[in-house]
């Protein structure tokens, strides 16, 4: 059996941050899990190095694009090596073999009739490497994804007949329930495709830094558009276009992406594969973004999380555990040192590490560190079966990339083990002469710890290896088959002392960014002398023309193709809901708003935002610390007036 796991290839416009680390650690975890079960697994990561943005960034620093790309790509590779990421290949889109593979794919799609030459006119965002129509732009003409200015571009281009694949894509989404996960992200993709797909511009002539068209086409002015070039890395890394040496790993078992590039991976990429007559990936899995202490990260705020700094300060495997446990896959997560410390001290220290310490201590007192499972089923069959019930289904979560649920369930087994010690009190049984029962209990919890360690090893490989060595069981397919698949118990062994795995952390180990300072208060003296502004004042009658009301949010979802907008259905006590498009996605998740109440301006004329009608406007306060919705102090009837 073969398995293939991929990360996105990371764009070399900046150094690695926590989002890159999150994606790569999940991918590494999936690859290690497949290998644990005996699958021949190939893990791919790498860097995306072409495009106008890279050409401009290199020029600004006085470098050639290749020298600039070498520097940043090297930083990604060095970090993954430092993080012990078990990749089989690190691909760069500047690799000659990759370029040849992309050119071959272009020729195949051209011969099939899926590529044609035309002229493109559209608004281009250099930052996102994406074209938009005028109706998709923000009111100020900015990019709907990142808000940055766009440029009207008109140039000769080759096009991919994406429109020909609309029905086939919808059929794939319908037929393969888990082809895109989580389900909410899949629904967004389906909604986008149902709106209609336009043919895709796949070459540019206005810059030179990219993969040239095949020489056979005799059209040297064109370079391939970055997304065609980039997406094909997943098969060129396996030998497509050269020798197909590793194409046996295709289709991918799981392809990890951030939610901002899901559209490219769940629409364009499968369409390209259909054109190439190649199988589609089994799962495209999209995760959310990370904030810090509730604020969006930015260089200007100085709150960008450096993953290497966190790993050095708190331990790499503690960091891995935190990222995968802290947030449900697909949702946005928040990084704070307090939350990380709490996870280390509580989940890892108190429940996991302390259980090992208790087993070493009890076995040392009662049996000279010898642990024998012979009587476990005789005295503790109920507890053992309860653990096995959890372990029989826990793997469903990791197979669906629900790493937080996977860890949550594993910790139920650790809780069961710790509670069994508390309930059955082996020290009392020893005093009562029930030595067999006491030793069987120690063996029970040792087996539960070993089983958890096997399944936890893809996430914390070095930590679990220390446990496996101390308890003399293999941490590989043999150990998985015996302890998990066959539900056997450990053979008699002498446990070795293991130094504390998770020393308690009492204080933060990294400098925290300074909070955004609040606005300066005006002194009493100044306030007495301050003049009330007279410009822009309205009379009370004008003010009361605005109808401010309490609305209850009954539905909320993200607007596809927009980084800022949420689509809300609100109840104003009118017998039917209203739709409001609000630019608050950077500050509130859709899920967090459902069922809450807000204040709105109810009598605004309907407006179109990105083609969607908005009937009303939310009231919010915004300053240097962020944005906050105006809400009633206590729940009020929907439609209640404000003022």
Instruction: Point out the annotated binding site for Zn(2+).
Output: 125, 128, 143, 146
Which single residue is written with the structure tokens 């209203």? 578
Number of DSSP helices (H) and strands (E) in the chain, helices first: 23, 27
Element (H, E) at 91: strand 89-92
The first and second tokens of residue 607, run together, are 């407006």
Distance from C-alpha of 603 to C-alpha of 563, rounded to nearest angstrom: 27
Residue among 520, 612, 523, 516 at smallest CA distance from 561: 612
Query: How far apart are alpha carbons 466 and 602 in whole angstroms?
Result: 62
Integer Cα distance of 222 and 518 in angstroms = 52
Q: Which helix (H) or strand (E) holds 215?
A: none
* Residue 124 contacts residue 155 (beta carbons within 8 Å): no
Q: How far is CA 169 from the centre of its chain?
A: 23
Strand-pair partners of 304: none
Contact 8, 23 (CB under 8 A): yes
Strand partners, 392: none
Total Cβ atoms within 10 A of residue 60: 9
Determine the 3-state secondary structure of 439 from DSSP. Answer: helix
SS3 helix, strand, coil % of the chain, rounded to 5? 45, 20, 35
Q: Rounded CA gap, 285 and 287, in Å?
A: 7
Report yes or no: 561 and 581 within 8 Å, Cβ to Cβ: no
Handedness of CA 444, 449, 450, 452 (dihedral sign): positive
Binding positions are 125, 128, 143, 146
- State how far the Cα of 42 lies from the Cα of 253, in Å rounded to an integer: 10
CA distance 338 to 322: 11
Q: Residue 523: what are its φ and ψ, rounded to 5°?
A: -65, 160
Query: How, if at all, do strands 607-609 and 612-614 pair?
Result: antiparallel
Rg for the chain, CA atoms, rounded: 29
DSSP-based three-state secondary structure for 608:
strand
Write the DSSP assignment of 549-566 as a string of letters.
Answer: EEEEEEEEEEPTT-SS-E
Instruction: Please answer whether residues 483 and 473 qualify as being in contact, where contact means their C-beta atoms are separated by less than 8 angstroms.
Output: yes
Name residue 4's beta-bridge partners. Answer: 42
286: how many CB neighbours lie within 10 A of its CB? 26
- Interhelix angle for 403-424 vs 435-456, to 10°? 170
């Amino acid at each position: 059996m073969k398995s293939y796991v991929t990360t996105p290839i990371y764009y070399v416009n900046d150094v690695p941050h926590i989002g890159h680390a999150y994606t790569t650690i999940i991918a590494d975890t999936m690859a290690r899990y497949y290998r644990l079960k005996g699958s021949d697994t190939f893990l791919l990561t790498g860097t995306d190095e072409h495009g106008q943005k890279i050409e401009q960034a290199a020029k600004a620093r006085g470098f050639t694009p290749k020298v600039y790309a070498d520097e940043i790509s090297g930083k990604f590779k060095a970090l993954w090596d430092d993080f012990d990421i078990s990749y089989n290949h690190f691909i760069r889109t500047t690799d000659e073999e990759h370029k040849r593979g992309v050119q071959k794919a272009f020729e195949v799609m051209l011969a099939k009739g899926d590529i044609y030459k035309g002229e493109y006119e559209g608004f281009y965002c250099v930052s996102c490497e994406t074209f938009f129509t005028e109706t998709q732009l923000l009111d100020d003409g900015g990019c709907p994804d990142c808000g940055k200015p766009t440029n009207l571009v008109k140039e000769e281009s080759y096009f991919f007949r994406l429109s020909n694949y609309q029905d086939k894509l919808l059929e794939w989404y319908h037929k393969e329930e888990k082809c895109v996960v989580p389900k909410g992200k899949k629904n967004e993709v389906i909604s986008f495709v149902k709106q209609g797909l336009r043919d895709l511009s796949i070459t540019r002539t206005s810059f030179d830094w990219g993969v040239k068209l095949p020489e056979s086409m005799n059209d040297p002015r064109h370079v391939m558009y970055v997304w065609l070039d980039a997406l094909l890395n997943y098969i060129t890394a396996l030998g497509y276009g050269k020798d197909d040496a590793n194409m046996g790993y295709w289709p991918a078992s799981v392809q990890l992406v951030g939610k901002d590039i899901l559209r490219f991976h769940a629409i364009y990429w499968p369409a390209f594969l259909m054109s190439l007559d190649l199988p589609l990936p089994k799962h495209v899995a999209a995760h959310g973004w990370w904030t810090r202490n509730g604020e969006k990260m930015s260089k200007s705020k100085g709150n960008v999380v450096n993953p290497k700094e966190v790993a050095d300060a708190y331990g790499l495997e503690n960091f891995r555990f935190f990222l995968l446990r802290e947030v449900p896959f697909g949702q946005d997560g928040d990084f704070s040192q307090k939350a990380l410390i709490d996870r280390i001290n509580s989940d890892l220290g108190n429940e996991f590490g302390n259980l090992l310490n208790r087993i070493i201590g009890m076995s040392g007192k009662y049996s000279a560190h010898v642990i024998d499972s012979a009587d476990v089923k005789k005295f503790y069959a109920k507890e053992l079966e309860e653990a096995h019930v959890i372990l029989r289904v826990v793997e469903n979560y990791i197979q669906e990339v629900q790493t937080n649920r996977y860890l949550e369930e594993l910790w139920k087994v650790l809780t069961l083990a710790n509670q069994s010690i508390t309930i059955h009190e082996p020290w009392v049984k020893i005093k009562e002469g029930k030595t067999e029962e006491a030793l069987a209990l120690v063996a029970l919890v040792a087996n539960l710890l070993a089983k958890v360690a096997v399944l936890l090893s893809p996430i914390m490989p070095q930590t679990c290896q220390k446990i496996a060595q101390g308890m003399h069981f293999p941490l590989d397919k043999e150990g998985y088959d015996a302890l998990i698949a066959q539900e056997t118990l450990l053979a008699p062994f002498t446990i070795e002392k293991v130094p504390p795995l998770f020393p308690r952390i009492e204080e933060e180990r990294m400098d925290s960014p300074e909070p955004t300072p609040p606005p300066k208060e005006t002194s009493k003296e100044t306030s007495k002398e301050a003049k009330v502004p007279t410009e822009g004042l309205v009379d009370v009658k004008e003010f009361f023309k605005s109808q401010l009301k309490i609305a209850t949010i009954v539905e909320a979802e993200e607007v596809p193709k927009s980084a800022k907008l949420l689509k809300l259905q609100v109840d104003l006590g009118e017998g039917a809901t209203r739709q409001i498009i609000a630019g608050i996605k950077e500050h509130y998740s859709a899920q967090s708003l459902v069922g809450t109440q807000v204040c709105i301006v109810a009598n605004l004329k309907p407006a179109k935002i990105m083609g969607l009608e908005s009937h009303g406007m939310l009231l919010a306060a915004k300053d240097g610390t962020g944005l906050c919705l105006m809400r009633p102090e206590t729940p009020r009837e929907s439609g209640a007036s404000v003022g």
